[in-house]
Amino acid sequence: MTARGAAGRCPPTGVGVPGECESWGEIMPSLSQTWLGRLLLLACLLVNRSTTEEVSENCSHMIGNGHLQVLQKLIDSQMETSCQIAFEFVDQEQLNDPVCYLKKAFLLVQDIMEDTMRFRDNTPNAAVIVQLQELSLRLRSCFTRDYEGQDKACVRTFYETPLQLLEKIKNVFNETKNLLKKNWNIFSKNCNNSFAKCSSQGHERQHKDPSDPQLPGFVFRLLVPSIILVLLAVGGLLFYRRRRRSHREPQTVDSPMEQPEGSPLTQDEDRQVDLPV
């Protein structure tokens, strides 16, 4: 028996002299690669499934009642004031889809907490903001970003009091909590069409009304100085008329006394004075 023939009859147990089982050596790498690939695929599927279940569990219960209670305490601790602050938020009149509204509002709330809602360091209110910011970072995994080029779509500038702003933020967290409990994957919805519709509406408004689209704020800023100028003008006119009238009154009072020296009235007065008592 030749060595070549012996190598072709190598037992499947792999027992033999090294170098004599060339055909078995060629088969083993392909088999090992196949089984290894299947094992890796199975492991990836198991890991992906466990990760998905974990994300779903976290998203469904990530916002608790404690977060809403903390937000309510923050609202109750604010001073009532008529002063207004400017901030960018979703225009619900343009975006009436509740899911897309919250997807847009969620990122805007993050910006507001970072740039607008600032409290003195090491205070209870500052600690609440930090807690909400950490919650927002954890919630990012529950939202898909499908509107990179439309960050300003469906957004306008609001002028409201701090209390009204905090109420908006609380409503966003509350509505997000309710929707995530119903469906943890609800915010994976593609909202590109809704955002594009807002962009087209915004362009149409700019063509129809070339002035500032924030009409109420613009009118307010224009109306107040105008009213002040009108009041100043009316006040100045009234003051001028009153001063002019005050100058005229002494002249009318003194005019009967100003008689010529040779008039009968003055002569009679002189006679009355010369009469003995």
Query: Sorting pLDDT into bands at 50, 70 and 90, what band is 149?
Result: low
Asked whether residue 165 is domain-assigned, the answer is yes
The CATH number that applies at residue 106 is 1.20.1250.10
Asked whether residue 277 is domain-assigned, the answer is no
Least confident of 5-9, 42-46, 53-57, 259-263: 5-9
The per-residue pLDDT for 275 is 47
The per-residue pLDDT for 245 is 79
The per-residue pLDDT for 153 is 84
Least confident of 21-25, 174-178, 183-187, 223-227: 21-25
Pick the more confident residue, 55 or 169: 169
The per-residue pLDDT for 236 is 82
Residue 176, pLDDT above cutoff 90: yes
Q: What is the domain extent for residue 168?
A: 61-211
Asked whether residue 234 is domain-assigned, the answer is no
Of the chain, the percentage scoring pLDDT greater than 90 comes to 37
Asked whether residue 255 is domain-assigned, the answer is no
Asked whether residue 47 is domain-assigned, the answer is no
Residue 20, pLDDT above cutoff 50: no
Mean pLDDT calculated for residue range 58-87? 92
Residue 72, pLDDT above cutoff 70: yes
Mean pLDDT calculated for residue range 120-133? 93
The pLDDT tens digits of the residues spanning 220-277 come to 667 788 898 888 888 888 888 887 777 776 555 455 555 555 555 445 544 454 545 4
Mean pLDDT calculated for residue range 31-35? 52
Our count of domains for the chain comes to 1
The pLDDT tens digits of the residues spanning 94-126 come to 998 999 999 999 989 999 999 998 899 999 999
Residue 181, pLDDT above cutoff 90: yes
Asked whether residue 130 is domain-assigned, the answer is yes
The per-residue pLDDT for 12 is 45
3-state SS track over the chain: CCHHHHHHCCCCCCCCCCCCCHHHHHHHHHHHHHHHHHHHHHHHHHHHHHHHHHHHHHHHHCCCHHHHHHHHHHHHCCCCCCCCEEEEEECCCCCCCHHHHHHHHHHHHHHHHHHCCCCCCCCHHHHHHHHHHHHHHHHHHHCCCCCCCCCCCCEEEEEECHHHHHHHHHHHHHHHHHHHHHCCCHHHCCCHHHHHHHHHHHHHHHHHCCCCCCHHHHHHHHHHHHHHHHHHHHHHHHHHHHHHHHHHHHHHHHHHHCCCCCCHHHHHHHHHHHCCC
Asked whether residue 127 is domain-assigned, the answer is yes
Asked whether residue 4 is domain-assigned, the answer is no
Pick the more confident residue, 81 or 256: 81
